[in-house]
Structure 1
Amino acid sequence: MNSLVHKTMVVQLQTGDADRFPVLAHLSYDAADPFALTVVFSHDGRVLARWTLDREMVADGLAGPVGVGDVRMRPESRGVWEELRIEFLGDARPDGDRHRAVVFVWAAAVAAFLRETYAVVRPGEEEVRVDDFLAGLTAEG
């Protein structure tokens, strides 16, 4: 069985109060890190940002608001269109606020991606490899 899942989709990026514009989101899941999803946002061949997200948090974000730190998610309805709203908070700005970007993703596409990851590692069956974790920590010094 393949331990990797990849999906590329078009999402809508909104920064500040500006209009939304389309960017690509490249989602990936690797059973070697079973709790994490990686998303790379790109536009015109340039990487805009790379984030590692908690798989369970993404699933919970489809059902209701989650997150209190740098990443916050919640479902949003646009008529018949259900979206997952993901807010990313960055470094502080000179005015004391924080840089912020909001991404809107078609919720059905996120749910389909999660189902593919569940076929690789079912929720609740993730394994924590403590020895590998500790070896990584000691190698970093």
Structure 2
Amino acid sequence: MSTVIEQPVEARLVAAAPRMPSIPATLSYDLTDPFAIRMTFPAQATLEGEEVCWTFSRELLAAGLRGPEGHGDVRVRPYGYDRTVLEFHAPEGTAVVHVRSGELRQFLQATRVLVPEGLEHAYLDLDHDLAELMRDAC
């Protein structure tokens, strides 16, 4: 069984320059970081001309499908019948994208098959992570 799930999605860009009506993005989930989801935008879709990856919690994405969630750099809320708005806030500005809610639900279901909700802690390797922190501290 694979330990990484990746799913391409089409994101409709609402506010940014240069104006691009839709851009490809990739959602990913890695068993080694069971609380996190990553959404990656390709270089041609960013102002800097470099790939941009946002990391946020799986719980935030799931809750944002039902109602407005998030108070930090990433915010998620439903929009209409089958769209979800994701807002990405950075010092350089804010990017707002719409993604089909069905694609997000499909992705979340695949992550739940890999790691059931509420059992994320069982997939953490705390001894390894602590050893890495201590190695850097010496």
Q: TM-score, with normalisation over the residues of structure 1?
A: 0.83
Q: 1:118 aligns with which of 90, 102, 112?
A: 112
Distance 1:19 1:12 in 2: 10
Name whichever structure is richer in helix by fraction. Answer: 2
- Structure 1 residues not aligned, in runs of 5+: 93-98
Q: Does 1:134 align with 2:127?
A: no
Q: 1:113 deviation in Å?
A: 0.4
CA RMSD of aligned residues (A): 2.2
How is 1:51-130 mapped onto 2 (pairs within 5 angstroms)? 51-77=54-80, 81-91=81-91, 99-127=93-121, 128-130=124-126
Amino acid at match of 2:125: R
Question: How many aligned residue pairs are there?
Answer: 132
CA contact (8 A) 1:40 1:49 kept: yes
Q: TM-score, with normalisation over the residues of structure 2?
A: 0.84
C-alpha spacing 1:14/1:47, structure 2 compared with 1 (3 Å):
farther
Distance 1:117 1:131 in 2: 24
- Structure 2 residues not aligned, in runs of 5+: none
Identity level (%): 33
Name whichever structure is richer in strand by fraction. Answer: 1
How is 1:27-38 mapped onto 2 (pairs within 5 angstroms)? 27-38=27-38
